[in-house]
Structure 1
């Protein structure tokens, strides 16, 4: 039996599971295909039977990747928003974090999952992500004195999506420049109205 490189068996299993999920995610991003347990094992130096100790099938592995990426994407945005000082900064941090997701390497994972996973499953995860991310955006807009924060949040989301989809996916800086031109005057006006 190989040596455990962790303080406990539970920690070892946790680290192995994380390595498997990260490798599967990388393969999905690179190939656009569901990763086989053999390919995942080869990437991290585990035998294929070892992968089956964590995930009994390719489908179970893919389901685990889906269950893992959506919370990670949510945390990425929420952490970015939480680090901002003012309500206007939090709105802009929300925009920046979403543009980074829509135009960065995670977009390859998202695109592949749209072809690999049943639409109903993705819709369920997407709806939960969207609902969770709306809360701090709406709260920030409300703090800025926006009279209709729910609808404004939807408009901001629509602008982010449109900017990211209409512009070369590798050009997040261009999307941010356009969104800055659109949203900064509104954010400045709202911020000044709070003083």
Structure 2
């Protein structure tokens, strides 16, 4: 080895002490909390689901809750209202994927969601557990599927947003019997297919 080569190797070795090591695996970037989020649940776990990317917390569960967004319901104690789906807090623009195969319903079909679900709510008609169900996706910013289209599992179908939602960006996931309105909504958790992650 020449003196020049030896000197260069020595210099490179000295420089490596000044440059911080880059980890082999970069940690996932945490999303910033939306200041409008309020969590009406004691559950502090984040959940993964085939319906969305990442792990996120539930803001409002199905059924009676103390959120101010719903009128009092006689089924609920005190002044509590009734929520017909599950709201999952997530950044605006979070990709929403189909967790079940189905067909996109026409906005004019019976049981169409109203403006409280945002500008671009839509429904998928699916066959699951021996039943025909309509899954409502609310508060979407952009929808990538059209009425009549067949949707496969894993297909990107929308982006989450705060459209029609004063409490920040989130996914509203609701399940109804075929052709049913919001008052016919059933507990949706099993079809959302949540997998609990470590708590905060």
Q: Same fold (TM over 0.5)?
A: no
Q: Which structure shows the bigger proportion of residues in strand conformation? A: 2
TM-score normalised by the chain length of structure 1: 0.22
Whose relative contact order is higher, 1 or 2, with alpha carbons under 8 Å and at least 6 apart? 2
Q: Which structure shows the bigger proportion of residues in helix conformation? A: 1
Structure having the higher Rg: 2
